[in-house]
Chain A
Amino acid sequence: MNPDDLKYHKEHTWVKVSGKKAIVGITDYAQNALGDIVYIDLPEVDMDFEINSEIGEIESTKATSSIIAPLSGRVIKVNEDLSESPEIINEDPYVRGWIAILEIDDISELDDLMDSSEYEKYVEEEAK
């Protein structure tokens, strides 16, 4: 199940906000669709990203796909553990599989993201 305390972006990324900081990752639906993840190209610390832009790439045994920024902001930390063990995302996409922490530019962007029940409906629609 998708945690209730997170917000979701239509490109299957999630954010967990505390103050001006947002932890970002990909959703359980996304990791499932990708299959076994073999590599993640992490964003660089200090880089600025616009909402909806590519902040990194994930490669699985099936496909390569972009990680889309759910918010605009500056990367202040990345999950280095993923470079050695990208499969953590498959195992635990919402906790240990976090990808980056952003310093949020514009908190109002959060309003456009989905909550967990909206995201679940969205995914159901997509699956049709």
Chain B
Amino acid sequence: MKLAVLGTGPGGYVAAIKAAQLGAQVTVIEETEVGGTCLNRGCIPTKSLAASSEMLAKLRQSEDFGIELKGEIIPNLSKIIERKNKVVDTQVKGIRYLLKSWGITLKEGRGVLQSPSEIRVTLKDGSKDIVTADKIIIATGSRPSQIAAFPFDGDRIISSNDAINLTDIPNSLLIVGAGVIGCEFACIFKELGSEVSIVEMLPRAVATEDMEISELLERELKKKKIKLYTNAKVEKVDVKDDGVHALLSDGKKIFAEKVLVSIGRAFNSDGIGLETIGINKGIRSEIIVNKKMETNVAGIYAIGDVIGGLLLAHVASKEGITAAKNAMGRDEKIDYTVVPAGIFTSPEIGSVGLREYQAVEKGIKVRTGHFQFRSLGKAHVVGEIAGFIKIVSDEASDRILGVHIIGPHASDIIHEAAIAIKKGMKTRDIAETIHAHPTLSEGLMEAAEDVHGEAIHVPKK
């Protein structure tokens, strides 16, 4: 079996390795860098920047911990970027090595489908090559969406791709879009010293999260003196020598050295030959697939951002594994009911399963439990007391429907909840499990107890 994968992001390279493990002869085609958005322009670089800004925040709190620093604490963005590049390089090399170790051929160039069994590759040196395959997995990903009235110029109007490579800290930054990417960058640049404003069309920040998560994040942004304008639109921008003058829908004017547009992602489904072989696309240009990751053309699968689903690296990987298994003759369907996700703002967010509003929309009678991090000894020890853990459960069965965490290590703690939901567990199962002290995970046990009004470290209501 010959299998080709178009794209080497966390969808594509995982699909390639899985197919190779199952015995396929695999070729992967990559136009830019191995590792895709996740490794080169997304998850890893932003978390590396976030790690530097967290270090800075910690240093600024050092006196609270009894450590006296002499001299100034100065963030040097070009060195922060250097470190980020090093982290990225190590990871990219790791993936190249993994591909090699599984005997996967890597073709570096742009691939365009010629037929359901042929991909024409324009290699980096300009030469052409044809890759033939019995099955093809498309994993071409996505890119930052831009606003037609003020497209990216890479200098004043920038995307997340540019923001991870700035070498000077902007005095002021206007972020358009208070989604995951916008809020993460807001926290990073604020800590580095920029004046940050965010403009969001929707009524709240991180609008796909539970309402209480948005509320607390908004307050934490306010504490950091990040200005958030919700229900607002940037009507117009004027790029001048000194910076960008923006006009909001309510008439307010904001001046910023740079504008970061983070309003969503556009799908990389153009110019790769989909029309030639008749692959169906949706209205957002996403490739349409079924639960087996099959497109409408036999033998062609699509995975990851380009199918317009959850746009998460770990979802792309799971889709890649599903596609690879199906391409190799298995019969697997993807299941999206339990997808944990992290947002690396400060404080961090971790969520899995139904938000309370989603459960209510489904007509489920819910019971919730809450626990504040400030009631945990460990939160005080690490000096991060803001935030809470919330459990949404089904009143009738006590089964856990969703867990929403904002606070220290939220994206790590969330996995206990993911397994519990995956296994159909009840809040009682978590409440009755001994949790080690002193840890942040104790909060999940207390939140589970709170569902029944039985949390020990919550005052009597």
Contacts and interface: CB of A to CB of B under 8 A. Distances in A.
A22 to B, nearest CB: 25
A41 interface: yes
Interface stretch (A58-66, A71-79, A92-100, A107-115): A58-66
B374 A62 contact: yes
B222 interface: yes
A63 B385 contact: no
Contact of A61 (B219, B222, B223, B374): B374
A41 B374 contact: no
B346 interface: no
Interface residues of B, number: 9
Interface in A32-74: 38-39, 41, 57, 59, 61-64
B153 to A, nearest CB: 36
Interface residues of A, number: 9
A3 to B, nearest CB: 29
Interface string B377-394: 000100001100000000
A52 B426 CA distance: 39
A63 B374 contact: yes
B71 to A, nearest CB: 23
Nearest to A57: B219
B372 A41 contact: no
Nearest to B222: A41
A62 B374 CA distance: 6
A63 B388 CA distance: 11
A61 B372 contact: no
Interface centre among B219, B372, B374, B385 (most CB of A within 10 A): B374
Contacts of A39: 223
A57 B215 CA distance: 13
B230 to A, nearest CB: 15
Contacts of B385: 38, 61
A57 B223 CA distance: 12
Interface in B346-376: 372, 374-375
A59 B374 CA distance: 10
A61 to B, nearest CB: 6
Interface string B195-224: 000000000000000000000000100110
Contact of B372 (A38, A57, A64): A64
B182 to A, nearest CB: 22
A63 B372 contact: yes
A67 B240 CA distance: 44
A39 B224 CA distance: 11
A39 B374 CA distance: 13
Contacts of B223: 39
Nearest to B223: A39
Contacts of A41: 219, 222
Interface string A4-44: 00000000000000000000000000000000001101000
A33 B374 CA distance: 15
A59 B372 CA distance: 12
Nearest to B386: A59
Interface string B9-21: 0000000000000
What are the 9 closest A-B residue pairs judged by CB atoms, nearest first?
A39-B223, A61-B374, A61-B385, A62-B374, A41-B219, A61-B380, A41-B222, A63-B374, A64-B372
15 contacts: A38-B385, A39-B223, A41-B219, A41-B222, A57-B219, A59-B386, A61-B374, A61-B380, A61-B385, A62-B374, A62-B375, A63-B372, A63-B374, A64-B372, A64-B374
Interface of A: 38-39, 41, 57, 59, 61-64
Given A59-B386, A61-B374, A61-B385, 10 more contacts: A38-B385, A39-B223, A41-B219, A41-B222, A57-B219, A61-B380, A62-B374, A62-B375, A63-B372, A63-B374
